[in-house]
Amino acid sequence: MLIKILGAAAGGGFPQWNCNAATSRAAWSNAAGVKPCTQSSLAISADGDRWILLNASPDIRQQIAATQALHPRAKGTLRNSPIQAVVLTNADVDHVAGLLSLRERHPLTLYGSSRVLDVLAANSIFNVLHPDHVTRRPLVLGEPNAIAHHGRDLGITVEPFGVPGKIALYLEDAAAGPGLGTREGDTIGLKVTATATGHAFYYLPACAAVDAGLRQRLRGSSLVFFDGTLFTDDELVKQGLSDKTGARMGHISMAGPDGAMAAFADLDVARRIFIHINTSNPAWIEGSPERREIEAAGWEIACDGMEVRL
């Protein structure tokens, strides 16, 4: 299985368009050891020929341009793309807005939880993905879903499972209530398995906490892409960028006793890669104390163009 990191950054990308705090400023000024990144998305393929996107970020056009494996095939038909399917993990803008760029009457199969597909159905702008061309399939939670397109199996299954999380920000008002209106399917993690080899990895770009169920699930796995939004829970507050903590936004922090690095310390996960990294996170800066702490704990920081073969 081939895995390409199309975008490593959280919503807004790195640097975020209106952010002038220290880490973003380093990116705006092209400081050494700082690499701008686009918004969170992976491309995966069992055969190197047909590709599945995990989330469709607003930067998708730029990401396709930068990734030759996703260009139309020169020997293919007048309209063709190696992208056959898209799997969504939530309805956040940074994960669904790219769908609007996958138009032009192109056949695709789109997978998401019923909750996420309902959000798309309620926003008529997503009708640019016309049902004549784009089939929307609800993911069954807790079971392996074979990803297929036009009846052809793509050699990959995804098992979606609910994780502690939060409803998309722009839906909060409409679904106010306990847990910020969050219901099953609002935020999911994926276990992604290559059917032929059985090789598998986990993809959790948003996760509010590593609870007992998640610990059990991830233990001993070979590769996890995990929510690296914030280094510390109060990072945005301390930097003066927002009054929201990571907990309020549905994102665990990397560091600290309740953070991801501590939670994974005894889980025996062979390769741990932080993804969905916010513009405020000092982990972006090579050589920073935070980056060194992350690397010392055996974690990697994703970047655009990174590839993993499993």
Q: Site for a copy of itself (CB under 8 A): how many residues?
A: 60
Short-list 223, 217, 238, 225, CA closest to 280: 238
- Shortest distance in whole angstroms from residue 126 CB to a copy of itself: 8
State yes or no: residue 103 binds a copy of itself (CB under 8 A): yes
- Residue 65: phi and psi, rounded to 5, are -60, -35
- Shortest distance in whole angstroms from residue 180 CB to a copy of itself: 15
Give the number of C-alpha atoms closer than 13 A to the C-alpha of residue 257, restricted to the C-beta side: 0
- Shortest distance in whole angstroms from residue 276 CB to a copy of itself: 15
Options 21-29, 110-118, 143-151, 192-200: segment touching a copy of itself (CB under 8 A): 21-29
Number of other CB atoms surrounding residue 234 within 10 Å: 14
Q: Could you give the CA distance from residue 276 to residue 283 in angstroms, rounded to a whole number? A: 12
Among 29, 132, 220, 296, binds a copy of itself (CB under 8 A): 29
Residues 6+ apart with CB under 8 A from 37: 7, 8, 9, 13, 14, 277, 284, 302, 303, 304
CB 207 within 8 A of CB 189: yes
3-class secondary-structure state, position 129: coil
In the shown chain, the binding pattern of residues 226 to 265 toward a copy of itself, with x for contact by CB under 8 A and - for none, equals -------------xxxx-----------------------
- Shortest distance in whole angstroms from residue 51 CB to a copy of itself: 12
- Shortest distance in whole angstroms from residue 230 CB to a copy of itself: 15
State yes or no: residue 133 binds a copy of itself (CB under 8 A): no
Beta-bridged to residue 54, according to DSSP, are: 42, 87
- Shortest distance in whole angstroms from residue 131 CB to a copy of itself: 11
Q: Could you give the CA distance from residue 234 to residue 240 in angstroms, rounded to a whole number? A: 10
3-class secondary-structure state, position 165: coil
In the shown chain, the binding pattern of residues 169 to 208 toward a copy of itself, with x for contact by CB under 8 A and - for none, equals xxx-xx----------------------------------
CB 303 within 8 A of CB 63: no
Q: Could you give the CA distance from residue 300 to residue 112 in angstroms, rounded to a whole number? A: 28
Number of other CB atoms surrounding residue 99 within 10 Å: 25
Among 1, 19, 54, 117, binds a copy of itself (CB under 8 A): 19
Rank residues 101 and 221 by Cβ distance to a copy of itself and give the closer one: 101
State yes or no: residue 216 binds a copy of itself (CB under 8 A): no
Among 46, 102, 134, 283, binds a copy of itself (CB under 8 A): 102
User: How does DSSP classify residue 197?
Assistant: T
Largest Cα–Cα separation, the chain: 55
State yes or no: residue 132 binds a copy of itself (CB under 8 A): no
Q: Could you give the CA distance from residue 181 to residue 175 in angstroms, rounded to a whole number? A: 5
Rank residues 103 and 137 by Cβ distance to a copy of itself and give the closer one: 103
Among 31, 48, 71, 184, binds a copy of itself (CB under 8 A): 71
Residues that bind a copy of itself (CB under 8 A): 11-13, 16-21, 24-25, 28-29, 36, 38-39, 58-62, 64-65, 71-74, 76-81, 83, 93, 96-97, 100-106, 119, 122-125, 127-128, 169-171, 173-174, 239-242
